[in-house]
Structure 1
């Protein structure tokens, strides 16, 4: 009542507040309409003038990835590429008269020529086959109102994906049919592949010359720019971020707390009558497996075979976990087991329940003596062993899927007794018919209590405070470098080539935090050389604690267009340095005798045989194409000049060459050339369409 009285007394205030609120809504609506009127507010991008609108983008994300816990930025990247490519293909298909009719679409969705989209989305993970029953049910209920609205909407969007994929395939097929191999090209390919040579070489590693010996000048970088004009163009803006990472690691106190948590439960663990239940309730692990000594961690391998059964050992540290282990049992493990089985296949929970009933009935028939195992297996087993009475012969350990393997080697009954096991293939009725013991190796069955050793909240908070203080005291990239000189536990790392829509950040990977750092780097008000006012937090994805605190600074901005000299110095310094080192090594080589060169640089003489021009990789040294190209045009007995490679400087000498077996039938070479050329169409066609299109990409303003 007092509250109502106060409201009545000051009703004029309420009227003013309501008026202001309504005015705010009106103003928001006016601003919203004005923003929409200018055509940019909701436009994520354009493709040759066709807009990609944010509501359409959001709708696609909602339909394709409802309640998804996957990589949201990877998913959005897929949606963007789909929308861009669909619009590009729409233009091309209209010009060429390409389309996908209703009958063709039905065949791609439900018929005998299923689209790769359907094969991807409706593949049963257990069988690896498309779930046709599910497809048939969807087909029968589409448009009837019986399907869930979400599935109906999803199917409509998927139809668009299927049409896009089909039109893209038709377009690539048109391009492929226009490709042919002329006779002269087949003859050249025959010569390149057929001519083989053997050569000796020495390799002088790049680091033979210390970087301190090399003095780089502007002329060196200008020469690199001239030699690599194709690399000197930037289609989009790139930014470089330098950053300092504060890694959050457990302290000795944190480890002691975890040790205490394990210790407090050891007595209960030792006395537990139901080990499986105790372990389950205490977040441990237990398995049917009997481990051999070599299979165990070194820290417990001896102990597990010495302590009495029922003993508990620990706590002890195993990697990032604190553990205690209980010795449950030990026994001699068979080297191989002979068995037979009857399989009733099942792909889902309902089918498994039905298969279980069938197997139970078969088991009753066999155990009552009314039917023989082999006879039933021949008649009803849905496995390839059925015609052999279900006989699998002898199997070594770990050759079968885990539940089946466990039944044979660890939980198996006596020979002649039946057991029922469910696997990814269905429900099995298994009979062990023989065991072989050759090595008589003992195995041990174990149960574990496990606690991850993670930083406590106080540890996380303390390191966060350090990161905040560090960030506050160092507001420029230059200051970051100076600050870490006094802190050997810290270092400045570099993330180069960041783009406005990127979501991968250095070795810290993808995700929301990486995206937030990149968005900060591309903000209009982020000044070159400045450090972010925010400390960014990376979570440990499985244990959910703050694992890294990142203090980033904007190192450089590279605008679209031709690289400047300063940008080349930043981006390609290492390549120019290696080129200069190779030149310096070459200047020191005064002999053409391989042995003399090998002695001079203390390196061996190695040999390659049967090398041809078409090869791009040499075992042991990798993709040294400059070396392959050079020796391919040399004569027998000729020694090369120094060759600057990827991993060092080479000097080679050809000592044998075999000419090709020339044949007038060039069909195989023509087909090979066609396969290579046509194979590149699938990956390159869309790249070409995008390159010649007018694209604008504003995704970075939305997420």
Structure 2
């Protein structure tokens, strides 16, 4: 009774405990299954480098900066470009982390006096000199630098400008420390006289020889049986070649095409024909484009060569109101209408002062500030001085606000970049000497038009586009086929089902964790993420959508970082292992031919080969004409005595026997100082990249990018 009473009194507490425990167990199992943790936020850690966590947010800041710089060059950001920027940013970031540790270990610093010198007037850093150069002469202007420093110290500077200057100085100091470290390593490189002599002879000592060869191809592959011992022997001798620098995945996939059918295209063509008639009658072309076009491109004046080829000649010879299309271009039906024609300047030269709304309390206040600055300039103040003091665009601000000349499309000369449409339109509408205030995506600009040159015919062309897309019926049919195929799969029957359904299996080999595309498939990031969470042999639990394809995948191989085991590289090394087995047979054939022979001609005749004479080969270029690069053979030749038959040598293409006719030694090295300098210069040029490679190779890096990017 005592026990029952105890349980009755505490039943609520006990049930709560067990329910709570069960929930906790369920949550733990989910966290473990998904690779998470209670004690830290895995999604915040991009990587661990030698035990130090790399925050995702810090990496992402750099990634956004690099992406923005790439966009400013006028190029579009495709999945492949995104992957390239991510990889480049990661290599830069990882290199800096490793270098910073080495710099700290060595004790390299940049002192206050050195910093003052770098940012001073007597010996400024090259970046400082470029930023504060005279726009007319291009030479460093100490007055501009001093004016900017005085402005920062006056209390008038925006906090963001002070922070930008601080960040700039920090980057200069970091770059200086890195250059000191690189110099410390490269200055330790030394080339002695013997190395100079060897290098000189390798490039200039000549050899003439004759050889006979038995090609590996002379033995059919079917007559060669490879054993486990053959594989093991080759693998152990070449193990260092199988070091994998990063995790890789290989997978097989089947795609089901959901591209637009002929019926889909015809239906869209009919719709585009009706749209073309309405476009001809339109009196508000800008509104028509905004309502009916997939791509809402602003209608701006463009010069010849700026339109797509199908339109360029037509529109510059047509009358206003001319409509062309529908026509097919870049996967869309397009209709183009000539809305205006005029003659304008070929290029406009401007300077500007950029006001950042974020630091001035909004766009209205930024416009008011620009108007105030305009009045000050009109009253006699120097535009260049006001640009240096107030412009948020420090690149042009230190040059008096100077912007390179640009054409009606906003393109600057020499491929320097692209001006925004708002800025371009305003500058071409204004007159020479005008000061105008314009708002763009970058902020509020006070623009002064300095010059307008040339004369060019320009046109305004409004374009309506309708992408040629698959109908819902086409997509449903393809998706249903993919789902049906997936439903019949198991780990063991993928190949059988592919064959049964008459499908084509494709492979994606050695895919990195940050890859964004697969062979023939763009924007396949979701598939790659799956591959890095799956186990070997796993089949996806859903149908992936990649562009106009539906994808079903199976993970076929995992290649971990480090020395790959034999079972992973077995297929890769099979041709080389087979050649080694063939080499044993061909060696035996040559050995028999060498027995009792006194000349290379006799050896060739007995072995069923022929003698080939070769002249003027140097050690530094180990190529046998008509054959291939043969490092081992040429190396053996340069270590041989003239007029002596060699033993068989296993080469790249076959087994060789040779006899050296003679060597031609070059003149004695007259100036080994010059030779040493040339070698040293080459070593120095390669050292920076090799230093970073060595640091990365020796670092313990746990890379989570495959899961987070």
TM-score > 0.5, shorter chain as reference: yes
| Residue pairs, 1:84-99, within 5 angstroms | 84-99=94-109
SS in structure 1 at match of 2:542? coil
The residue that corresponds to 1:467 in the other structure is 482
- Distance change (3 Å), C-alpha of 1:517 and 1:303: closer
Q: Deviations over 1:384-430 (max 9, x none)?
A: 9xxxxxxxxxxxxx998799xxxxxxxxxxxxxxx9999xx986544
8 Å contact from structure 2 (residues 339, 462) kept in 1: yes
The residue that corresponds to 1:482 in the other structure is 496
| Residue pairs, 1:93-242, within 5 angstroms | 93-102=103-112, 104-105=114-115, 113-114=124-125, 140-141=151-152, 146-147=157-158, 161-195=171-205, 216-234=226-244, 238-242=248-252
- Within the candidate set 493, 501, 507, 2:507 is matched to 493
- Distance change (3 Å), C-alpha of 1:68 and 1:657: same
SS in structure 2 at match of 1:179? coil
8 Å contact from structure 1 (residues 142, 152) kept in 2: no
SS in structure 1 at match of 2:484? helix
| Aligned-partner Cα distance in 1 for 2:461–2:214 | 54
The residue that corresponds to 1:395 in the other structure is none
Q: CA deviation at 1:186?
A: 0.9
Q: CA deviation at 1:182?
A: 0.7
| Aligned-partner Cα distance in 2 for 1:493–1:45 | 29
8 Å contact from structure 2 (residues 349, 450) kept in 1: yes
Q: CA RMSD in A?
A: 6.9
SS in structure 2 at match of 1:552? strand
The residue that corresponds to 2:691 in the other structure is 685
- Distance change (3 Å), C-alpha of 1:320 and 1:43: closer
8 Å contact from structure 1 (residues 484, 492) kept in 2: no
8 Å contact from structure 1 (residues 44, 697) kept in 2: yes
8 Å contact from structure 2 (residues 335, 464) kept in 1: yes
The residue that corresponds to 2:545 in the other structure is 537
Q: Runs of 5+ in structure 2 lacking a partner?
A: 1-18, 69-76, 356-369, 379-401, 405-410, 417-430, 435-447, 594-598
8 Å contact from structure 2 (residues 240, 563) kept in 1: no
Q: CA deviation at 1:253?
A: 2.1
- Distance change (3 Å), C-alpha of 1:290 and 1:607: farther
The residue that corresponds to 1:368 in the other structure is none
The residue that corresponds to 1:412 in the other structure is none
Q: CA deviation at 1:106?
A: 6.1
SS in structure 1 at match of 2:548? strand
Instruction: Tell which deviates more after alignment, 132-141 or 676-685.
Output: 132-141
Q: Given the two structures, how large is their TM-score scaled by the length of structure 2?
A: 0.59
Q: CA deviation at 1:323?
A: 4.4
Residue 58 (structure 1) aligned with residue 57 (structure 2): yes
SS in structure 1 at match of 2:539? coil
- Distance change (3 Å), C-alpha of 1:431 and 1:519: closer
| Aligned-partner Cα distance in 1 for 2:337–2:662 | 67
- Within the candidate set 262, 265, 275, 1:265 is matched to 275
Q: CA deviation at 1:185?
A: 1.0
| Residue pairs, 1:490-569, within 5 angstroms | 490-496=504-510, 498=512, 501-503=513-515, 506-507=518-519, 513-514=524-525, 516-523=526-533, 526-538=534-546, 546-558=547-559, 562-569=563-570
- Distance change (3 Å), C-alpha of 1:620 and 1:345: farther
SS in structure 2 at match of 1:496? strand
Q: CA deviation at 1:104?
A: 4.0
| Aligned-partner Cα distance in 2 for 1:510–1:135 | 52
Q: Deviations over 1:125-172 (max 9, x none)?
A: xx99999989986994489695465x7667666665544433222111
| Aligned-partner Cα distance in 1 for 2:600–2:350 | 71
| Aligned-partner Cα distance in 1 for 2:39–2:319 | 80
- Distance change (3 Å), C-alpha of 1:348 and 1:466: farther
The residue that corresponds to 2:253 in the other structure is 243
8 Å contact from structure 2 (residues 245, 562) kept in 1: yes
SS in structure 2 at match of 1:681? helix
| Aligned-partner Cα distance in 1 for 2:206–2:150 | 58
8 Å contact from structure 1 (residues 558, 567) kept in 2: yes
8 Å contact from structure 1 (residues 329, 446) kept in 2: yes
The residue that corresponds to 2:394 in the other structure is none
| Aligned-partner Cα distance in 2 for 1:519–1:154 | 37
SS in structure 2 at match of 1:530? coil
Residue 666 (structure 1) aligned with residue 681 (structure 2): no
Residue 452 (structure 1) aligned with residue 462 (structure 2): no
SS in structure 2 at match of 1:250? coil
| Residue pairs, 1:507-656, within 5 angstroms | 507=519, 513-514=524-525, 516-523=526-533, 526-538=534-546, 546-558=547-559, 562-573=563-574, 576=577, 612-615=618-621, 645=652
Q: Given the two structures, how large is their TM-score scaled by the length of structure 1?
A: 0.59
8 Å contact from structure 2 (residues 117, 124) kept in 1: yes
Q: Runs of 5+ in structure 1 lacking a partner?
A: 1-19, 331-339, 359-381, 385-397, 404-418, 434-443, 539-545
The residue that corresponds to 1:393 in the other structure is none
Q: CA deviation at 1:682?
A: 0.2
8 Å contact from structure 2 (residues 212, 600) kept in 1: no
The residue that corresponds to 2:8 in the other structure is none
8 Å contact from structure 1 (residues 421, 430) kept in 2: no
SS in structure 1 at match of 2:250? strand
| Aligned-partner Cα distance in 1 for 2:347–2:535 | 71
| Aligned-partner Cα distance in 2 for 1:143–1:36 | 50
| Aligned-partner Cα distance in 2 for 1:38–1:329 | 61
- Distance change (3 Å), C-alpha of 1:75 and 1:449: closer
- Distance change (3 Å), C-alpha of 1:52 and 1:581: same
- Distance change (3 Å), C-alpha of 1:161 and 1:579: farther
The residue that corresponds to 1:8 in the other structure is none
Aligned residues: 580
Q: CA deviation at 1:497?
A: 5.9
The residue that corresponds to 2:265 in the other structure is 255
Instruction: Tell which deviates more after alignment, 167-176 or 682-691.
Output: 682-691
Instruction: Tell which deviates more after alignment, 188-197 or 578-587.
Output: 578-587
8 Å contact from structure 1 (residues 290, 445) kept in 2: no
8 Å contact from structure 1 (residues 289, 445) kept in 2: no
SS in structure 1 at match of 2:519? helix
8 Å contact from structure 1 (residues 110, 136) kept in 2: no
Q: CA deviation at 1:529?
A: 1.2
| Aligned-partner Cα distance in 1 for 2:174–2:455 | 53
8 Å contact from structure 2 (residues 332, 468) kept in 1: yes
Instruction: Tell which deviates more after alignment, 152-161 or 582-591.
Output: 582-591
The residue that corresponds to 2:396 in the other structure is none
